[in-house]
Amino acid sequence: MRFEINELVLLAIAFARHCAGMMRPSDALSVMAGEGFTAYLDLPKTFGAIENCWFQFGAEEKIKLDLNAANAIITANAEEVLPFSSTVCGIRVNKVSYASADTWKLEVENAFGDYERGELKLSVLATHKKHFNTSVQLAIGEGAISCSLSDTATKECKIIDHKRNQVWNSCNIYTTIKPNRTFDCYTKNWGSMTQSHEHIVVEAKNSSLYTTASVTEGDDSVVMRCQFKSELRGCQAESPGGKTELDLMEGLYNGRYSAYDTLYSKQRCALEIPKPLKESELGLWRLYNTEVVPPTGCLFYIGKPKAQIMAEELNTLNDIKQVHAYDTDKNIELFTCEVPFIIYDCYLRDPNNTVYFPDAIRFERTRTYGQCHFSNMPVIAGSWICGARGHDYAKEVLQNFEVIVKPKVGEVLTESLKLRRGKAVELICQSAFEEPLTHCAFIDPLGRVHLVGTAHSIKTAGHVKYYGRGLLWGDCGAQIMETNSDDYGIWKCQFVTFADKRTSIFTLRLRESGRRLYKRKL
């Protein structure tokens, strides 16, 4: 098929007319009041050179734009409009206001009289101060610090305590509240190139951190209520023996338990249990504030006489609790003594007979919940004792803790073995405190690698195969079947922990035991 030149020109023109342009960078933008935006038409090359460009705001008359203009057009809403560039039909708009929120349109014409159009839906967000000061009154202890900007306009926040050199990449934090402590909140906002800076000064107010527990028992149900004297953002219920934990959110009901009377605005956490009560529901309940470290809360004695519940709980304290620590740890982050009554006083004694007392502010929060916390204790292996006395129980209650310290890298259980040729042998190393593993490998004396176990598979056959309880238990072991001369020498055990991807390598030695010599009969 042959075309004349005129026909080809007509085909090119027809093709150009069907190549639509696109509004860039988007057909919808959100801009903060006082800021600006850009918009332009992205045209195909076949459209050709631009002859005319117009912009239009809402239902107003369209305005022709000189692409080479250096002076801005001032609109009826006081926006400043400049051309995007000398070769592109577009606009650069500055000083937008709430009145600027509408549809902005662009229209372009080429030398052939073809037109392309695009629309942009502009939303204008509330403006925010760039630098401002905020003063908040909070109770001494653990509390919330929040950036005061709107969640709808805030993209991300960073809160900094410059004096303590602490940084939180969050708009809300929970930290220690002390008089005259200061924070700086830096906020990146949608629709703005510059961040906001808020300087927060904390003023301590006098208020009791005590909580009040109450129980309402009716014919159909039992309702436990814990009234807090500080801000409440979330709470949890713990059933007797800690067997069940329930998140209590306003209005929730799961078919049995109801949080109908939980009201954060009233600083009240409540749980309703229908009658008849189940056996597992009889005993000591705890309701506590989950958004505070350490938590504060209330104790409840449900379904049995209080004395009986306390006696049953005290019997469980005879068990020695284990506390694990690594040899590289600078301190033990937290010791928690727990008793079934409101605590009046408590102490902690280490194996060297040094006595420690809890922080006064933390103790005031935890004692109504039957807990006593000790933070940042020294790493000393051995027997620790916690003593507590309290409301409704004048006798001193003692709890025993056994601190076990292990190397963080783990340990080898079969460092050196000696056996005869042809026998089977097991080599094993282990992570500290049974930390789960992702990989387990052995390197033999000839440098060959035996990957005996990963998170996906375990080698169960061959001359060298996996040995142990499993990677989930922290065991990295190898069983060598029918040892030969190549198996004697230095082996290496290597594993990778699941939690922090830490690699540990150990050296093991396998030696051949002496052979018996027999005299040949003549």
Return the CATH number at 393. 2.60.40.10
What is the number of domains present in the chain?
5
**Same domain for 104 and 10?**
yes
pTM of the model: 0.54
Q: Please check whether residue 309 lies inside any domain of the structure.
A: no
Kindly write down the DSSP assignment for every residue of 395-426, as one continuous string.
EEEEEEEEEEEE-TT-EES-SEEEE-TT--EE
Q: Output the CA torsion sign for 390, 396, 397, 399.
A: positive
- On whether residue 426 sits in a domain, the answer given is yes
Which structure tokens are listed for 395?
């006798």
Question: Do 16 and 116 share a domain, yes or no?
Answer: yes
Q: DSSP secondary structure string, 211-267?
A: -EEEEEE-SSEEEEEEE-SS--S-EEEE-GGG--EEEE-TT-B-SS-B-TT-BGGGT
CA-closest candidate to residue 437, choices 406, 478, 473: 473
**pLDDT digit string (tens) for 84-129?**
998 999 999 999 988 989 999 999 999 888 999 999 999 888 776 7
**Residue 521 included in any domain:** no
Is the domain of 297 the same as that of 402? no
**Has residue 250 been placed in a domain?**
yes
110 and 32 within one domain: yes
Position 290 scores a pLDDT of 78
Query: Could you say which of 109, 125, 141 is where a domain stops?
Result: 125
Q: Which of 406, 421, 447 is the last residue of a domain?
A: 406
Whether 172 maps to a domain, the answer reads yes
Give the single-character DSSP code of 458.
Answer: B
Task: Cite the DSSP H helix spans in 316-413.
Answer: 360-366
Bridge partners, 127 (sequence order): none
Q: What is the mean pLDDT of the chain?
A: 86
- The answer as to whether 355 is a domain residue is yes
pLDDT, tens digit (0-9, with 9 covering 90-100), for 59-75: 898 999 999 999 999 99
Give mean pLDDT, residues 381-409. Answer: 90
Are residues 98 and 11 part of one domain?
Answer: yes
In this structure, is residue 378 part of a structural domain? yes
Domain housing 372: 314-406
